[in-house]
Amino acid sequence: MDVLKSREVALTSVFTALVTVTTIMFQVYIPETKGYFNLGEVAVYLTALLLGPRVGAFAGGVGSALADLITGYSIYAPATLVIKGLEGYIVGKLSRSLRKRPYLAKPLSLAVPVLIFIMITAIGTIFYTGTFELSSYPPIYSSAFQVEAWMWVTLAAVAAFAVGYESHRAGKTSLYVISMIAGGAVMVTGYFLYESALYGPAPAAVEVPFNIGQVVVGIIGGLALYEPLSKIAKEK
């Protein structure tokens, strides 16, 4: 029992640090809105899928809140602790619950790729086309690049095909996607309510599509990393 507890504490510490580093390492700045999104959702979702709701909640909440404090967004840290913690918990809890209902996998494997294609295409072409600035924290580098609408349509098609293929091959991929969408919906809603209290509904609404973008990136990255890491964990 003590060995299991020590292992859980060690894994929690490692994945909390992973969430923090992933959140602060890369920031994509959008000059048109003065907003940005990060890659933190990838680590939050990966942690929740691999280690379940308890570790997912702690690493998601504490790791993301630490990133806010480190990068100077301390006003968001209390909300992030709760919102990202709840997000990690939901993804971990729902994914484990859906694993016990394999009969849902087949219908979801047909619906989820279509949903992924629509989400990426709509969010990307409407809100993420134009000139972007890619920077790191610490500020080691910064570069600008242009994103066109066709890039998002191509990415959407590739992501939808990959999810559909994995769902057909592995059977549970669509269940994980639904879990991440549910957790992401809570994150988007939570930040909208918090920012509405701080700045009003109109400014808060501007950030909604960018938070949805983080969810999409998190789903793609989380799925890409989950299977190889879960195999390594099983071997050990």
For 147-200, what is each residue's pLDDT tens digit?
788 888 998 898 888 777 777 666 678 888 889 999 999 999 999 999 889 888
Residues with Cβ < 8 Å from 91, sequence gap 6 or more?
44, 45, 48, 49, 53, 56, 179, 180, 182, 183
Judged against a pLDDT cut of 90, whether residue 52 lies above it is answered with yes
Q: Residue 83 belongs to what H/E stretch?
A: helix 77-99
Residues of 156-180 as b/e, b for ≥16 C-beta within 10 angstroms?
beebbebbbebbeeeebbbbbbbbb
Which pLDDT band, with edges at 50, 70 and 90, does 234 fall under? low
Using DSSP's 3-state secondary structure scheme, residue 116 falls into helix
Residues with Cβ < 8 Å from 133, sequence gap 6 or more?
28, 29, 30, 31, 142, 143, 144
Domain 2-235 carries which CATH code?
1.10.1760.20
Judged against a pLDDT cut of 90, whether residue 207 lies above it is answered with no
